[in-house]
Structure formats: structure tokens, C-alpha cells
Structure 1
Amino acid sequence: MKNSYTSISERRREIVRFVREHGEANVEILVKAFDTSPATIRRDLVNLNKMGMIHREFGKVKAVQTSPEDYNNDKNQKIEDIKNELAKIAANFIEEDSTIFINSSSAAGKVAKYLKNKRVNIVTNNIKVAFKEHHPQSTIVLTGGEVRLPKEALIGSYTVDFIDKIKSDIAVIGCYGLSIENGLTTPILAEAKINNLMVKNATKKVIAIADYRKLGNVANFKSAEATEVDYLITDSFADRKIIADLEKIGVTVIQINI
């Protein structure tokens, strides 16, 4: 028998699919389509809106694109809000005077703005990090390399050689996907090796930042094994089974309420 969490998750996925297929909907239409109460549908819509899956306006709802392919654009403000909250929590795990790797992920890059009151050393291939506000005694080191646009990530053999010569205390890694079987993955081959070196050259802890869309998702190129992640910072909408499986292999999972 399906548990209530699974049933709720499946219904919400079906609601999003229904709205995408029909362009828009409202509570009355969804009540009839899913044979459930208006109160249940309203709760579903409130949560789907927080997840950035739908947009509510004038009593109607429309679907919003939230696929992991969009993980570096800022058009979906709800997703950006979630990533900001995850970044804020991740920053709490970083001690003053630490040396930190931050990869090219937009979520990982957001951590830097929550470190402005801490004196740290940041080594990153994420150009946007350099333009954040930092503690006046912090050191920000860009790896150098080829600039990949529009993401503004530094990649290539020069970047790899640079990272290979450095040890950090902490690696903060955002990803396209995270699963038990495939670990941390990215669709960009050139970034996979850089991410891998950041993970391997972090001497104290690896912090993965992944919103609910990323858990269970898989891209072509592996950055690290799931067992190499010490902490996962995610949100309350993340799949509970995947979280339980990650905890079984020793990952400490921090979920924040959205």
C-alpha cells in the first residue's frame, strides 16, 4: 500500500502535468479532475507554488518550468529563493579562516554572500563569486582558465592544474543531480573533473547543495561518489526515500522548511 507521502507527491506531480497539458486551471477544475476536496487541492497548490512548480494569479494556476536544465538561470524566483535559503544554511558550516572551494554552480556561488562577515579564503572557478560582497580580510582566488558563457564558469586544463595543486578545508559543490547509484553528476564534461578535484582535495568536509529537483536526477558525467559527500543541504520538498538512502551511507542531510 502506498504511504500518504507517496500519494501526495504523485498527486502533485499529476497536477503539474495536468496544468501543463491544459495551459492553466483553477481549484474547481482540479477538484473534478482529481476527485478530491477543495481544501486538499488548495494545500497542494500552496506547496507547488512554494516549489516554483506553478504560478498562481487571479484564481488561476499556470505551470512553470523547473527542470534541472534551468539550474543556472534566475527566471524562476521561487527556485532562486530556495537556493538562497540552502546557501544560507551551508554558510553556517564554514568556520572563519577556512579555505573553501566553491564550484561553478549558481547555488554554491550564493554561499559566498552569506560569508561576508567571516574572514575566509575562497578558491573558485565561479566568476560571479568575485563580485559578491566579502569580508575586507577575505581572499578570493579565481582559478583562471577558459571562460564558459553564459554561465561564467572557468574550465579547461589550466583550471584543472590549478585546483590540483591546492588543498582546502571545505568544498561547497552544487550539482545537476545527486543519486545513490550515480553520485554527484553534471551535464558538462569539462566541469566534472574540476568538481571531482575539489571534492578530493577538501581535507575536512564536502558540502553538497541540491534543491528538491536534483535528488534522484542524473546527468552524463560524474563529479563524485555519493559516499564522498559529508553534508547535503536540501529543502523540505526533497524525496524522503532518497534522503533516507543517503543517510544510510553516511551522508548527514540537513533539510530546511520552505
Structure 2
Amino acid sequence: MGDNQNLLAEQRRALILDEVRRRGGVRVNELTRKLNVSDMTVRRDLDALAHQGVVEKVHGGAVPVAEASTHEPGFEAKSSLEQGAKEAIARAAAAMVVPGSAIALSGGTTTYALAHHLLDVPDLTVVTNSVRVADVFHAGQRRGGVSAQSAARAGAATVVLTGGVRTPSDSLVGPVADRAIRSLHFDVLFLGVHGLSVEAGLSTPNLAEAETNRQFVRSARRVVVIADHTKWGTVGLSSFATLEEVDTLVTDAGIPQVLRAEISEHLADLVVAGEPDAPGPAPDEPADM
């Protein structure tokens, strides 16, 4: 891992999590040597990762949480994780949206954060299978005190919500959703994921959601995955796309350099939100809402 003395805490923890998942467990003394930090720092990092529920502390080290590949957390549980990272990713992704375009937003808490940043982008057509995302646009119109017809004339988004069966994360999936998405074509798909890795690509614990996401990918001219650094190395039950099918990955500054190099070997475009070359406002500037 090299000399990581100056890594930010989030970057250091991402490296630790990657090491735990790849090796099936690590010892504290191994991490202190590899990361060039104190024993106390490593233990604090392991405490933080254990609090997030991604590792289990054992005597002298940590092991991966024995979470089934079919486990799917609910929307509220996922919303509480990595909120700052999701907000930074949402700002960077919103800067990629062109007024008047047709876009798709899959289900997930990061696409939900993105939806809030799209309320003032004029003349969008938004296709989504997320009840939560659709509610963001509906609530935005209600706060403006306009009807759906008036909103359309004023340049507010036209939202197409697919039918389907609701998942624990409030996405609509299954044959009804698949048929609706298959008949449409959109300029950009913003796709949230349960996990991504070199070997498994993009994956989810929900088989029906995997098929719905496949239809999303097939119907999009451009695929943008929006995922915080903790999703890297996570593998769900069903893969639905390879990394090579992704045009852009938007992630956060918690992703370590060693992982960035690995990701860049498989992706055409990696955007790290909050860094100088990322789209949108700098971290200390207010977003233009």
C-alpha cells in the first residue's frame, strides 16, 4: 500500500476495507505497518468500519461481516450511510445534465440525492423506477404551487414512473417495469448500485432488480454510475453489467489512489467528486440550486 501517512481518514478506511475483503481478515499490527500509522489510529478506523456494519472486530484485527449476497437493506438504513459522500457525488453528477435532455434515474439513495439537484434544470424528461425519486419532483412542483400542466409549460421536469413490484429500497422492478423501460430511449442513465468490482461488475442482491437494471443499461446512450467508495468490492447475488459497459463512474474522495488506478484500467472516465477536476461547484462553494 506504500506510505499512506497523509491519507484522509475516509481514504485510509477504504483501503482497510478493501484489504479485509480481499484477504478475508487483517491484523492490527499488519495495518499499522502498511499504512504507516499508529496502533490507536488503526483501532479507531476499525471501530468506525464496524459501526458502519462492513467489518466485524475480532481479537487483534477484523474480518468481513458475514452478510449474505441476497441481503438488501431498506431505503432508510441506506440513507444514513455516507451522506456527505452522496451529496458531493450528486452535485458532480448534476453538472453533467443538459437542459432539455431525456435522462433515467434508477433506484437508490444516491440517485435520490441527485434528484434534489435537478429540480431547477429546465425541460427534463426523467424516467425512473424509484418511488422516492418521483416524489422529489412531485414535491418540488407542489412547493412551487403549480399543477403538472403548468409545470410542464414552465419548464419543470416531465417524470415517467415505471410500474412494477416494490423492493425494500423503494424501487419498482419486474416484468412491468422491464417492458416500460425497454420501449424507451434516453440520453443518460444515472445508475445507483449495491456493489461494483472488477470480477463481478455491477451487482445487486435482488434478482428482479438486476433484470430491470439490465434494461436500463440497454436503453441508455450513456451510462453513468454514481456510487460512494464503500460500494467498491461489494458483490451482490446477481451481476447485471460489466465495468466496460459503464461510460463514467462518479465516486467520492474517499476512494484511495491504489483503487483509482485499478478502476481506471476498466473504465473510460472516473470522476472523483469534490476534487478540482470534478464537474460542478468546488467543495467550499454553494451549489447553484
1:180 maps to 2:198: yes
Unaligned segments of structure 1, at least 5 residues: 18-29, 55-61
Q: Which residue of the other structure, out of 129, 146, 149, is the alignment partner of 2:165?
A: 146
Which SS does the other structure have where 1:181 is aligned? coil
> Which residue does 1:57 correspond to in 2?
none
> Which residue does 1:209 correspond to in 2?
226
1:110 positional shift: 1.7
Check whether the contact 2:227–2:249 (CA below 8 A) recurs between aligned residues: yes
Unaligned segments of structure 2, at least 5 residues: 21-27, 55-66, 142-150, 275-282, 284-289
Change (3 A) 1:34 1:250: closer
Sequence identity percentage: 26
Q: Which residue of the other structure, out of 73, 82, 88, is the alignment partner of 2:76?
A: 73
> Which residue does 2:110 correspond to in 1?
107
CA separation in 2, counterparts of 1:232 and 1:13?
22
1:233 positional shift: 0.8
Change (3 A) 1:124 1:147: same
CA separation in 2, counterparts of 1:229 and 1:12?
23
* Matched ranges for 1:91-240 at <5 A: 91-119=94-122, 120-133=124-137, 134=140, 136=151, 137-148=156-167, 150-203=168-221, 205-240=222-257
Q: Which amino acid aligns with 1:234?
A: T
CA separation in 1, counterparts of 2:171 and 2:234?
22
> Which residue does 2:260 correspond to in 1?
243
Change (3 A) 1:238 1:189: same
CA separation in 2, counterparts of 1:99 and 1:192?
22
CA separation in 1, counterparts of 2:227 and 2:220?
19
CA separation in 2, counterparts of 1:223 and 1:6?
37
> Which residue does 1:4 correspond to in 2?
3
1:6 positional shift: 9.6
Change (3 A) 1:210 1:151: same
Check whether the contact 1:71–1:106 (CA below 8 A) recurs between aligned residues: no
Q: Which amino acid aligns with 2:128?
A: T
Q: Which residue of the other structure, out of 51, 66, 80, is the alignment partner of 1:64?
A: 51
Change (3 A) 1:3 1:110: same
Change (3 A) 1:195 1:65: same
CA separation in 2, counterparts of 1:193 and 1:6?
43
Alignment coverage as a number of residue pairs: 226
1:163 positional shift: 0.5
Change (3 A) 1:84 1:227: same
Q: In the TM superposition, what whole-angstrom CA distance separates every residue of 1:211-247 from its partner, at most 9, and x where no partner exists?
A: 1111122112112110111111111222433321222
Q: Which amino acid aligns with 2:97?
A: I
TM-score normalised by structure 2 residue count: 0.67
What is the Cα-based RMSD across aligned positions, in Å?
Answer: 3.5
Q: In the TM superposition, what whole-angstrom CA distance separates every residue of 1:180-238 from its partner, at most 9, and x where no partner exists?
A: 222111111110111111112111x2110111111122112112110111111111222
* Matched ranges for 1:15-30 at <5 A: none
Q: Which has the higher contact order (CA 8 A, sep 6+)?
A: 2
